[in-house]
């Protein structure tokens, strides 16, 4: 019997505004079942759909998914070809879902290496959803945190060289404004699946104060209930941003 959508007992103002996810374990999930790695990637798309729709329903401001890292190009060509096909097909197949849920799509990362047909479908989906006002779905494709910082520093150097920016005016915002994520809020919550305890070169600047939540479940197994568990855990934490918590005792001299 279908009891309808799961209910999340966390007030809207206590939910993360921006959730970032390292979607790990597709290959391991498939291999444990005696299936090729690409089947794990195929099944992972179902998790992307479920989590994206649930974030839209929960009014999460932004969901950023680590789809393809700049290091993933070291994988076998057959797997890479399938991932590029999957990306292209996702951009076509999910348009109705994206538009129905008022989701705005954006992509961060370098475009080099991504086949032109996939880029065309990606750009079309971005354009079609540009006017949507609900959850922002940001896909990190051919993305690396160090590469992003390098590109930002290069832009800063060029702006200084061209006289558009004075060295004396450089600040953290100067970097933030030149990242791929310029104009986006930093993630409040970073979820990683498959039990790995690594950041993996993901949003290195942006996750400075993000809460980390790791699950042993592989990405193809991740569903709405897991997302709710992460949000509940996030809401129960005390975020101090380097300061003292409200209940911190005063320091007195003995």
Q: Does domain 14-144+186-236 have CATH number 3.40.1180.10?
A: yes
24 is known as an active-site residue = yes
Task: Report pLDDT for 239.
Answer: 79
Residues 25, 56, 100: CA angle, nearest 5 degrees: 110
Q: How far is CA 53 from CA 103, 166, 209, in A?
A: 9, 44, 26
pLDDT tens track, the chain, 254 positions: 445 577 899 999 999 999 999 999 999 999 999 999 999 999 999 999 999 999 999 999 999 999 999 988 888 999 999 999 999 999 999 999 999 999 999 999 999 999 999 999 999 999 999 999 999 999 999 999 999 999 999 999 999 999 999 999 999 999 999 999 999 999 999 999 999 999 999 999 999 999 999 999 999 999 999 999 999 999 999 877 666 665 544 444 43
Paired with 141 in beta bridges are 68
164 DSSP 8-state letter = S
pLDDT at 240: 72
User: What is the per-residue pLDDT for 71?
Assistant: 87
**Reported pTM:** 0.91
Write down the catalytic residue from 9, 46, 72, 142. 72
Active-site hit among 3, 9, 24, 46: 24
- Cβ neighbours of residue 98 under 8 Å, at least 6 residues apart? 105, 125, 128, 129, 132, 137
CB atoms near residue 235 (< 10 Å): 17
Task: For residue 72, indicate whether it is catalytic.
Answer: yes
Q: What is the DSSP string of 60-72?
A: -SEEEEEEEEGGG
Query: Which residues have CB under 8 Å from 200's CB, separation 6+?
Result: 22, 24, 66, 69
**CA–CA distance from 68 to each of 65, 205, 225, 241 (Å)?**
9, 18, 25, 30
Helix (H, G, I), strand (E, B) or coil at 59: coil
Domain ranges of the chain: 14-144+186-236
């Amino acid at each position: 019997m279908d009891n309808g959508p799961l209910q999340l007992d966390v007030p809207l103002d206590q939910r993360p505004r921006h959730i970032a996810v390292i979607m790990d374990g597709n290959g391991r999930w498939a291999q444990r079942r005696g299936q090729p790695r690409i089947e794990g990637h195929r099944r992972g798309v179902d998790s992307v759909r479920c989590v994206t729709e649930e974030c839209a329903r929960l009014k999460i401001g932004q969901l950023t998914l680590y789809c393809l890292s700049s290091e993933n190009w070291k994988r076998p060509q057959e797997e890479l070809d399938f991932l590029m096909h999957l990306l292209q097909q996702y951009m076509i197949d999910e348009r109705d879902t994206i538009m129905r849920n008022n989701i705005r799509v954006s992509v961060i990362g370098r475009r080099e290496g991504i086949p032109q047909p996939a880029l065309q479908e990606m750009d079309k989906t971005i354009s079609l959803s540009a006017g949507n006002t609900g959850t922002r779905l940001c896909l990190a494709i051919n993305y690396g945190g160090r590469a992003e910082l390098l590109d930002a520093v290069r832009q800063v150097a060029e702006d200084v060289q061209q006289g558009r920016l004075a060295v004396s005016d450089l600040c953290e915002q100067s970097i933030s404004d030149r990242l791929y994520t310029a104009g986006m809020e930093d993630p409040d919550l970073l979820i990683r699946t498959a039990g790995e305890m690594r950041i993996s070169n993901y949003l290195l600047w942006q996750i400075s104060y993000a809460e980390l939540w790791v699950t042993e479940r592989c990405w193809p197994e991740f569903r709405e209930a897991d997302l709710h568990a992460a949000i509940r855990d996030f809401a129960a934490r005390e975020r101090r941003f380097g300061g003292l918590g409200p209940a911190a005792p005063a320091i007195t001299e003995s």
